[in-house]
Amino acid sequence: MTESEVSGRKVIRVVGAAIMKDDMVLCAQRGKGKSLADYWEFPGGKIEPHETAREALHREIEEELLCEIEIAEELCTSTYVYDFGTVQLTTFLCHLIEGTPHLTEHQRICWLMPAKLPDLDWAPADREAVRLIATATRTRQ
């Protein structure tokens, strides 16, 4: 199930892709008129009932960005309670393998060095993955 009730609140299971290319990370800004408009996020979307998290992520990236990714390891799963429901976000580290990301759902996309990720105004559910990516990069340097 992608959505269920926990303590009377809707739980929405979603996936996000921290897409890497040339040591940079793709960041996407949510469009006007959408929930969480103007916040930055890792692109992705809802897991459909018949899909695994990885299948959903492949589908969402093909639909949203019109490119192909390789899904590497799972970074984290975070849960955040919004006014519209509880989002359970699983973020994967991914690599761009074919195509150039295109704007179809987002108002802006940009590539940033991992250490610069915290400079953006991220959707709350994405902040744990941002922290992990930025911290991991600093410890490797």
| Domains, the chain, with CATH or none | 3-140 (3.90.79.10)
Residues counted in the chain: 141
- In which band, very low, low, confident or very high, does the pLDDT at 32 lie, cut at 50, 70 and 90? confident
- In which band, very low, low, confident or very high, does the pLDDT at 136 lie, cut at 50, 70 and 90? confident
| Cα–Cα nearest to 70, from 32, 43, 104, 96 | 96
| Cα–Cα nearest to 75, from 31, 117, 17 | 17
For residue 138, the model assigns a pLDDT of 47
Task: Record the pTM.
Answer: 0.90
Q: What is the mean pLDDT of residues 35-43?
A: 94
pLDDT tens-digit series, residues 96-124 = 999 999 988 899 999 999 999 999 999 99
For residue 117, the model assigns a pLDDT of 97
Q: How many CA atoms lie within 13 A of 61 on its CB side?
A: 30
